[in-house]
A = this chain, B = another copy of it.
Amino acid sequence: MSNLTASGSSHHGDLKNALLQAGEQLLAEKGIAAVSLRDVARAAGVSHTAPYRHFRNKADLLRVLALIGFVRLNGEFAEARGSEKFGPERQLVAAAVGYVRFAMANPEMFRLMFGGLVLTDGDAEYMVASRAVLACLEDIMRAGIAVGVFRDRDASELALVAWTSMHGLVSLLMSGAMGVRAADRDQSGKLVRVVMQHVIFGLSR
């Protein structure tokens, strides 16, 4: 009578991954506020107490989900940096565009990652994951300083400014505080470029 709900064979070995997969899907579909641990378990085809074998509680599952989000975001950044035929400025713009694209494609994941609902104030894994994002930007800035296009300051300082700008832009865009509706993503591309143009101008010598 137990309905094995789609999403492939799961109930044998790696229930943990099945739960995370179901969680990510529910997060994207129903939004962070509407995702319940019982729903996740249901979607994975197990009883609602089974998740407690693999996660301390609901917050812990969400925390791991956020970490997965950081891995995805890092991938987007790495891709931007990978296009080495571009100069540092264009790599920085590409990173910002990737940032926006990631947030637009996974809005609820983005909220989960930066909404502060998950944070244990000093969670080691979370800090490692988020620092990796900053590190990728630092690489770009360092290269730009070496070539002489960016100001000769601490690379981490410049990276922080860059991250701050693109994060603020995306964050405001997605919160709705900028008055841009969810449907108008085309215009946002232009917005990103305008803002990043100013930021790069400020970071350049």
Interface set of A (CB-CB < 8 Å, partner B) = 32-33, 107, 111, 113-117, 119, 121-123, 126-127, 130-131, 133-134, 157-158, 160-161, 163-169, 171-172, 174-179, 181-182, 191, 194-195, 198-203
Q: Which of B126, B164, B182 contacts A169 (CB 8 A)?
A: B164
From A121, which residue of chain B is reached at the shortest CB distance?
B182
A111 to chain B, nearest CB (A): 6
Sample (30) of A-B pairs whose CB atoms are under 8 Å apart:
A107-B116, A111-B117, A114-B177, A115-B116, A116-B175, A116-B176, A119-B176, A122-B176, A122-B181, A126-B176, A130-B176, A130-B179, A131-B179, A157-B194, A158-B198, A160-B178, A160-B191, A160-B194, A161-B195, A163-B168, A164-B165, A164-B168, A165-B168, A166-B168, A168-B169, A168-B171, A171-B171, A199-B199, A201-B202, A202-B202
Residues of B within 8 A of A202 (CB): 198-203
Q: Which of B161, B163, B175, B199 contacts A119 (CB 8 A)?
A: B175
A61 to chain B, nearest CB (A): 14
A59 to chain B, nearest CB (A): 9
* Cβ-defined contact, A171 with B167, below 8 A: yes
Residues of B within 8 A of A116 (CB): 107, 111, 115, 174-176
How many subunits of this chain does the assembly comprise? 2
A20 to chain B, nearest CB (A): 21
Residues of B within 8 A of A160 (CB): 178, 191, 194-195
Q: A169-B164, A176-B121, A176-B126 are in contact. Are A198 and B194 (CB under 8 A)?
A: no
A131 to chain B, nearest CB (A): 6
From A204, which residue of chain B is reached at the shortest CB distance?
B202
From A120, which residue of chain B is reached at the shortest CB distance?
B176
Give the CA-CA distance A33 to B195 in the complex, in Å: 33
Residues of B within 8 A of A201 (CB): 202
